[in-house]
Amino acid sequence: MRMTRLFASTLRDVPAEAEVVSHQLLLRAGYIRRVSSGVYNFLPLMWRVLMNIEQIIREEMNAAHAQELLLPVVQPATLWEASGRWATYGKELLRFKDRHDREGCFAPTGEEVITALGGAELKSYRQLPVNLYQIGTKFRDEVRPRFGLLRGREFIMKDAYSFHANAECLQKEYDVMADVYKRIFERCGLETKMVRSDAGAIGGDVSHEFMMLTKDDPNGQKSGENDVIHCDGCGYAANVEKADGGLLTTTTLDGSTLGYTEEKIVPTKKTTTIELLEKCLDIPATLISKHLLYMVNDEIPLIVVIRGDRNVEATKLKNALHTEENPVHEIRLATPEELKERFNTIKGFLGVAQLQDAIRQASPAEKRLNEALQVVLANGEVIPFLVDASVLGMKSFVIAHNKYDEHTVGFNWSASVAPLVEAHAQALFAVQAGDACPDCGTPVTVSRGIEVGNIFQLGTKYTEPMGYTFSAEDGTEQHATMGCYGIGVTRVAASAVEQHHDDWGIIWPDAIAPYKITVVIANTSDATQTQVGEDLYKALASVYPDNVVLDDRDERAGVKFKDADLMGFPVRVTVGKFAGEGKVEVKHRRVKDAELVSIDGVVDAVKSLLG
Ligand code: ATP
Ligand code: MG
């Protein structure tokens, strides 16, 4: 490829729309252009990177006996109704009607279509196991598309699905896929960690994510959207959405030790946050109870009480409340208006101090969610109430009572409520650094990570509702057991940039670079340089076909070097002022200084750099 023909223009300035490094560099280096929110053109350089990643995925998947196919992206609602996800998937599912008024959606993932296909074709245990995969466009109408290719709405995914006669067979395939994933990411030049994860919208029993751990960006922007909990003691690693952990017991949990021996109301002017309340009362957050009002599915109010120094983990909360009968699609914090309307209070002053006699075990007849407890208001309204495990052990603590500018201190649950709290508290808190590892007790650490892949043991989650059975070896009809395995191809590309760049631009891992080598003619008006450049271009292209770029532009050398660094080609051969003496410069993008190499030694020098 000649630079004079390449469809890629570089930008000198950092585009204002781009917050994270990968987004900035991919825009600046001419790899992507935005079409609309979360939707991009993948320009030729980008497409070559994506094809390289796809090729690695294909080789590894095929070697593990998986077979590639291609499923439709426009899918009928009927299939999604059969699995039950038409009702539960939420707004990420882009839905539409065709000219016959038939409802459909644009595929965010492919379990429904593949289960229907497997169900129709794989009727006997003799045909199992099978692993089928595709690489293609997905669409998810993300609430917050951001960070360029890291969280797009339209993106490319590899999704694989395996069918098995039983759980043991699935477990074997799952382990094989975990190894395949490790190899794929390694070959793509990505350092990843396999962590336990929550199965989310895909569902199923066991799942793991492959996380690329991110370093803190000096300008404070965090590209990793997940907190990963890990233990150096035993290797336990989990997404914070899934991580269990023990609260340390060294914190002050008994207010009487600070002199709060009796319950009383104290002024707490304008303490709308835990920090302000801590300062105002000079009491640690571990002695303050925090009440949060949520709205579930936009209509059902819910109160959660948690210790002041802790945060609710949204996925755990959703899992605690969700059932097939009462599905939870969305949970959000209540607005100031909703808080005022129900409790006539404002943020910072919500609390059940004077409502504790109205707390009861959730009555099955009035349950609208899977709540453990309920608070019955004076007007008869029943509000689901959840108690986080962090509240256990708190004595003589601080609690609000829905009145502005005051709190109750020295509070204890009454004799009738204390056992309810004790019996129904559940771990909803987000594990944080220093908490005890659930497996070995060592204090855990937390890092940020980008999820690049996810594997799931689905079990019969789809085959049961969709009625897929096969005849088993013993002659009975049974539901097939499934696994599924995803990799975000476009996210892998952006993650590679996050992990491999410097102040000047991208440093592509050799295996996925759009072109492996660039030959830069420093001065195209110098006939010798041009001739040597053209010759080397040919020589290198014969060893690395379709993998060499010749910078033959009539530009200043500095501009060409800047572009080469920005675009991130692994090896640069510079034909400059020593060309007349039969020498050119060769260097890898990773190192600063070039080596002076005789022209006939260039191919070998490049080979040794590319390995
Ligand atoms: P996330 O939690 O980041 O929204 P997910 O867990 O919903 O992702 P999966 O359903 O597990 O995603 O999809 C498989 C893979 O597809 C993910 O591991 C990720 O690499 C990729 N992926 C998912 N959503 C996006 C997106 N919006 N943009 C780019 N890649 C994505
Ligand atoms: Mg996932």
Answer positive or negative: Cα dihedral of 550, 553, 555, 559: negative
Give me the chain's average pLDDT, please.
95
Whether residue 369 contacts residue 427, with contact meaning beta carbons closer than 8 Å, is answered with no
Question: Collapsing DSSP states into helix, strand and coil, what is residue 310?
Answer: coil
Instruction: For residue 147, report the distance from its CA to the centre of ligand 1, in Å.
Output: 13
Q: Which contiguous run of DSSP H or E holds residue 73?
A: none
Tokens 């396999």 sit at which residue? 194
What is the C-alpha separation between 387 and 427, in angstroms, rounded? 8
The dihedrals phi and psi of 230, each to the nearest 5 degrees, come to: -140, 155
Residue 222 has pLDDT above 80, yes or no: no
The mean pLDDT of 436-449, rounded to a whole number, is 94
If you take atom 31 of ligand 1, which residue's CA is the nearest one?
488
Dist. CA 453 → ligand 2 center (Å): 7
- Judged by average pLDDT, the poorest of 10-14, 220-224, 383-387, 443-447 is 220-224
Q: Is the pLDDT of residue 322 over 70?
A: yes
Residue by residue, DSSP assigns 386-450 as EEBGGGTT-BSEEE--S-TTEEEEEE---TTHHHHHHHH-B--BPP-TTSBPTTT-PBPEEEEEE
CA of 159 to the centre of ligand 2 (A): 11
Q: What is the DSSP string of 127-178?
A: G--EEEEEEEEEE---SS-BTGGGB-SEEEEEEEEEEESSHHHHHHHHHHHH
Query: Which residue, among 136, 239, 610, 188, has the nearest Cα to 447 in the 3D structure?
Result: 239
Q: Which residues contact 283 (CB under 8 A, 6 or more apart)?
A: 255, 258, 260, 277, 398, 409
Question: From the centroid of its chain, how far is CA 32?
Answer: 21
Residue 216 is classified by DSSP as P
Q: Answer whether 297's CB lies under 8 Å from 384's CB.
A: no
Judged against a pLDDT cut of 60, whether residue 285 lies above it is answered with yes
Residue 435: pLDDT over 90? yes
Atom of ligand 1 nearest to the CA of 209: 18
Residue 203 has pLDDT above 70, yes or no: no
CA–CA gap between residue 115 and residue 117 (Å, rounded): 5
Residues with CB under 6 A from ligand 1: 109, 140, 142, 151-152, 155, 157, 200, 202, 451-454, 486, 488, 490-491
Q: Which helix (H) or strand (E) holds 20?
A: none
Kindly report the protein residue whose alpha carbon is nearest to atom 1 of ligand 1.
451
pLDDT at 200 over 80: no
Residues 250 and 257: their CA atoms lie apart, in Å, by 14
pLDDT tens, position by position, 506-535: 999 999 999 999 999 999 999 999 999 999
Label residue 199 by pLDDT band (50, 70, 90). confident
The residue whose two tokens read 């020498």 is 583
Q: Strands 39-42 and 94-97: what pairing?
A: unpaired
pTM of the model: 0.91
**Ligand 1 pocket: which of 92, 94, 159, 451 to mutate (most atoms within 8 A of CB):** 451
* DSSP three-state, residue 382: strand
Q: Are 83 and 467 in contact (CB under 8 A)?
A: no
**What pLDDT is stored for residue 218 in this prediction?**
58
Which residue owns the Cα nearest ligand 1 atom 10? 202
At 65-110, the pLDDT tens digits run 999 999 999 999 999 999 999 988 889 999 999 999 999 999 999 9
Burial of 512 (0-12, 13-18, 19+ CB in 10 A): buried
Which ligand is nearest the CA of 491, by number?
1
Rounded to the nearest whole angstrom, what is the distance from the C-alpha of residue 491 to the centroid of ligand 1? Answer: 8
User: In percent, how much of the chain has pLDDT > 90?
Assistant: 92
Which residue's CA is the closest to the ligand 1 atom numbered 22? 488
What pLDDT score was predicted for residue 247?
85
> How much of the chain is helix, strand and coil, in % rounded to 5?
30, 30, 40
- pLDDT tens figures, 377-404: 999 999 999 999 999 999 999 999 999 9
Structure tokens given for 484: 């599924």
Length of the chain: 611
- pLDDT value of position 386: 98
Residue pLDDT, tens place only, 287-321: 999 999 999 999 999 999 999 999 999 999 999 99
The closest alpha carbon to 396, from 425, 429, 419, 418, belongs to 418
Return the DSSP state at 312.
B
Q: Using the mean position of ligand 2's atoms as its centre, give its distance from the Cα of residue 79 in Å.
A: 22
Res 145 pLDDT > 90: yes
Residue 535 makes CB contacts below 8 A (sequence gap 6+) with 599
CA atoms within 13 A on the CB side of 329: 14
Q: Judging by DSSP bridges, how do beta strands 517-521 and 548-551 pair with one another?
A: parallel
- For residue 327, the model assigns a pLDDT of 86
- Report CA(208)–ligand 1 centroid distance (Å): 13
**CA–CA separation, 549 and 539 (whole Å):** 12
> Are the CB atoms for 569 and 503 separated by under 8 Å?
no
Percent of the chain scored above 70 by pLDDT?
98
Q: Is the peptide bond before 76 cis (omega within 30 degrees of 0)?
A: no
Domains assigned to the chain:
21-215+456-499 (3.30.930.10), 255-424 (3.90.960.10), 515-610 (3.40.50.800)
Mean pLDDT for 117-133 is 97
- The answer on pLDDT for 216 being more than 90 is no
CA distance 405 to 269: 4
C-alpha of residue 346 to centroid of ligand 1, in Å: 36
CB count in 10 Å sphere of residue 476: 9
Which ligand 1 atom sits closest to the C-alpha of 197?
6
Spatial CA neighbour of 223 closest among 446, 36, 33, 451: 451
Angle between the 602-610 and 527-543 helix axes, to the nearest 10 degrees?
50
Task: Please state, in angstroms and as integers, the Cα–Cα distance from residue 259 to each residue in 248, 390, 391, 397, following that order.
Answer: 23, 22, 20, 11
